[in-house]
Structure 1
Amino acid sequence: MTTRTTPPFRADHVGSLLRPPELLRAREDHAAGRIDDAELRRVEDEAIRDVVAMQAGLGLQTRTDGEFRRTSWHMDFIYQLQGIHRTDQQIEVHFHNAAGDLDFTSAALTVDGRVGLDHTIFGEDFSFLKSVATSGTPKLTIPSPSMVHYRGGPAAIDRSVYPDDEQFWDDLSGAYAEQVRGVAELGCTYLQLDDTSLAYLNDPAQRAALQEKGADAEHQHERYIRQINAALAGRPEGLTVTTHMCRGNYRSSWTAQGGYDFVAEALFGGLEVDGFFCEFDDPRSGSFAPLRYVPEGKLVVLGLVTTKRPELESKDELKRRIDEAAKYVPLEQLCLSGQCGFSSTVEGNDLTIDQEKAKLALIVETATEVWG
Structure 2
Amino acid sequence: MTIPTESIGSIPRPRELQEALAAHAEGRLAEAELRTLQEKAVAETLARLEELGCVVVVDGDQAKPSTITYPLDGLTSLDPKGMVISFADGHTRQLPRLTAGPFSYQVRAETYLREASRRTARPVKQSVVAPSALSLLYPSEPIDGYSREAFLRDLVDEAEADIRGCLDAGAHCVQLDFTEGRLALKLDPSGGVLDDFIALNNEVLGRFSEAERARLGVHTDPGADMDSTHSLDVDYAGLLPKLFQLKVGSFYLQLAGEPDPERVLPIVADQLRPGIRVFVGVTDPISATVETPEEVRDRILFAARYIPVEQLGSCDDAGFSPWADDTSTSRDLAFAKIEARVRGTALAAAALGL
- Aligned counterpart, 1:141: 127
Query: Could you tell me how far apart the structure 2 residues matched to 1:317 and 1:201 are?
Result: 32
* Greater displacement, 172-181 / 50-59: 172-181
Label 1:322 to 1:185 Cα distance change in 2 as closer, same or farther (>3 A): closer
Query: Could you tell me how far apart the structure 1 residues matched to 2:332 and 2:80 are?
Result: 39
Letter in 2 for 1:146: S
Label 1:308 to 1:156 Cα distance change in 2 as closer, same or farther (>3 A): farther
Q: Are 1:296 and 2:274 an aligned pair?
A: yes
Please tell me whether the aligned partners of residues 82 and 97 of structure 2 are also in contact (alpha carbons under 8 angstroms).
Answer: no
Please tell me whether the aligned partners of residues 309 and 350 of structure 1 are also in contact (alpha carbons under 8 angstroms).
Answer: no
SS in 2 for 1:67: coil
Please tell me whether the aligned partners of residues 63 and 139 of structure 1 are also in contact (alpha carbons under 8 angstroms).
Answer: yes
CA deviation map 1:133-161 (0-9, x unaligned): 22x21122111000012x34661652641
Q: Are 1:281 and 2:259 an aligned pair?
A: no
| Displacement after TM superposition at 1:123 (Å) | 3.2
Label 1:285 to 1:206 Cα distance change in 2 as closer, same or farther (>3 A): farther
Query: Could you tell me how far apart the structure 1 residues matched to 2:27 and 2:101 are?
Result: 32
Letter in 1 for 2:79: T
| Displacement after TM superposition at 1:201 (Å) | 3.3
Q: Are 1:87 and 2:79 an aligned pair?
A: yes
Please tell me whether the aligned partners of residues 244 and 276 of structure 1 are also in contact (alpha carbons under 8 angstroms).
Answer: yes
Please tell me whether the aligned partners of residues 141 and 192 of structure 1 are also in contact (alpha carbons under 8 angstroms).
Answer: yes
Query: Could you tell me how far apart the structure 1 residues matched to 2:194 and 2:260 are?
Result: 18
SS in 2 for 1:344: coil
Q: Are 1:218 and 2:209 an aligned pair?
A: no
Letter in 1 for 2:167: A
Letter in 2 for 1:225: I
CA deviation map 1:315-345 (0-9, x unaligned): 4443333233233321221111111111111
Q: Are 1:248 and 2:223 an aligned pair?
A: yes
Label 1:235 to 1:120 Cα distance change in 2 as closer, same or farther (>3 A): farther
How many residue pairs match? The answer is 344
Please tell me whether the aligned partners of residues 128 and 163 of structure 2 are also in contact (alpha carbons under 8 angstroms).
Answer: no
Please tell me whether the aligned partners of residues 121 and 179 of structure 1 are also in contact (alpha carbons under 8 angstroms).
Answer: yes
1:108 to 54, 75, 96: 96
Mapping of residues 171-210 of structure 1, within 5 Å: 171-202=154-185, 205-208=186-189
SS in 1 for 2:97: strand
SS in 2 for 1:70: coil
SS in 2 for 1:52: helix
Please tell me whether the aligned partners of residues 94 and 103 of structure 1 are also in contact (alpha carbons under 8 angstroms).
Answer: yes
1:38 to 23, 32, 35: 32
Query: Could you tell me how far apart the structure 2 residues matched to 1:198 and 1:105 are?
Result: 16
SS in 2 for 1:89: coil
* Greater displacement, 59-68 / 85-94: 85-94
Label 1:78 to 1:273 Cα distance change in 2 as closer, same or farther (>3 A): farther
Please tell me whether the aligned partners of residues 232 and 272 of structure 1 are also in contact (alpha carbons under 8 angstroms).
Answer: yes
Q: Are 1:121 and 2:126 an aligned pair?
A: no
Letter in 1 for 2:38: E
- Aligned counterpart, 2:239: 263
Q: Are 1:47 and 2:47 an aligned pair?
A: no
Please tell me whether the aligned partners of residues 66 and 323 of structure 2 are also in contact (alpha carbons under 8 angstroms).
Answer: yes
Label 1:218 to 1:304 Cα distance change in 2 as closer, same or farther (>3 A): same
Please tell me whether the aligned partners of residues 310 and 355 of structure 1 are also in contact (alpha carbons under 8 angstroms).
Answer: yes
What runs of 5+ residues in structure 1 fail to find an aligned partner? 5-9, 209-216
Label 1:285 to 1:253 Cα distance change in 2 as closer, same or farther (>3 A): farther
Please tell me whether the aligned partners of residues 82 and 137 of structure 2 are also in contact (alpha carbons under 8 angstroms).
Answer: no
What runs of 5+ residues in structure 2 fail to find an aligned partner? none
SS in 2 for 1:290: helix
Q: Are 1:75 and 2:69 an aligned pair?
A: yes
Mapping of residues 147-186 of structure 1, within 5 Å: 147-149=133-135, 151-152=136-137, 155=140, 157-158=142-143, 160-162=145-147, 166-186=149-169
* Greater displacement, 320-329 / 286-295: 320-329
SS in 2 for 1:302: strand
1:306 to 278, 284, 288: 284
* Greater displacement, 190-199 / 23-32: 23-32
Please tell me whether the aligned partners of residues 125 and 174 of structure 2 are also in contact (alpha carbons under 8 angstroms).
Answer: yes
Label 1:332 to 1:358 Cα distance change in 2 as closer, same or farther (>3 A): same
- Aligned counterpart, 2:335: 357
Letter in 2 for 1:222: D
Query: Could you tell me how far apart the structure 2 residues matched to 1:154 and 1:35 are?
Result: 33
- Aligned counterpart, 1:63: 57
2:208 to 230, 235, 248: 235
SS in 2 for 1:243: strand
CA deviation map 1:154-207 (0-9, x unaligned): 616526411xx55443332122122222223323332111011212234xx432
SS in 1 for 2:175: strand
Query: Could you tell me how far apart the structure 2 residues matched to 1:199 and 1:68 are?
Result: 26
